[in-house]
Amino acid sequence: MLKIGVPSKGRLMEKTFDWFGARGVTMRQTGNEREYSGAVEGVEGVELVLLSAGEIPRELAAGRIHMGVTGSDLVRDKLADWSAQVAELAALGFGHADLIIAVPACWIDVDTVDDLDAAAAAFRAAHGFRLRIATKYHRLVRDFLTAQGVADYQLVDSQGATEGTVKNLTAEAIADITSTGETLRANHLKILSDGLIHQSQATLYAARSADWTAATAAARALAARLGLTLPEGIG
């Protein structure tokens, strides 16, 4: 049996169902919306597992599901050396969001990452502690800033309304996902001109560590129906 993880609620679930349905694979939720169970029609031997989008990278890495749909930002942030743990099968063309760095709009002299680096050094000299950047995406943000040579900062964990942390004085800048930028503007924040960290979208992944022995036939049939080529060692 091939297990495929799909987001358990909202537009991501609906869009995923639509994407598979357009390719002849019908997915549907069974029971009530709190039961997190589902069914797959169109390919034999496929079991639908409904999970939160944030859980899917972990379940893929552990090999408890064979395939999964989730945001590329979540996979890259939650899984160290992600490409060694999962194989990217298809970008699905929805769930688009940009992971960006934003600073207060009133920082008229800060427009680039280099400007942020200079501002961070000045902030530490003036206040005696490092400039705080609120984010949920620690690995992606840290890797990006390291590559840009920015060092005088600290990441502050934010699992809620990240855009409000600057107004609430718990951070001086943020790194978060945005689709339109409207919430950023409403909170008087601006995106750095070169502050794009990752362009995310919903993506279908396969687990490299899963036991594919009993799932090979289903994986090949599903790939054929979807018009995909399975990487070596998968299926």
Model-level pTM? 0.91
pLDDT tens for residues 50-66? 999 999 999 999 999 99
Using CA of residue 200, residue 202, residue 204, residue 209, what is the dihedral sign?
positive
Which positions ≥6 away from 130 have C-beta within 8 Å? 120, 123, 124, 152, 153, 154
Q: Are 208 and 60 in contact (CB under 8 A)?
A: no
Give me 136's structure tokens: 């949920």
136-145 pLDDT, tens digit per residue, is 999 999 999 9
Distances from the Cα of 211 to the Cαs of 66, 93, 206, 214, in angstroms?
8, 28, 11, 7
Q: Which pair of tokens denotes residue 178? A: 């945005």
Span 19-41, pLDDT tens digits: 999 999 999 988 655 556 688 99
Question: Average per-residue pLDDT in the chain?
Answer: 94
d(CA 61, CA 162): 27
Phi, psi of 148, deg, nearest 5: -90, 0
Domains and CATH numbers, the chain: 2-96+202-226 (3.40.190.10), 97-200 (3.40.190.10)
Q: How large is the average pLDDT for residues 85-96?
A: 97
Question: How do strand 97-104 and strand 131-135 relate by DSSP bridges?
Answer: unpaired
- Here the tokens at position 113 are 């990452």
Report d(CA 42, CA 211) in Å as an integer: 23
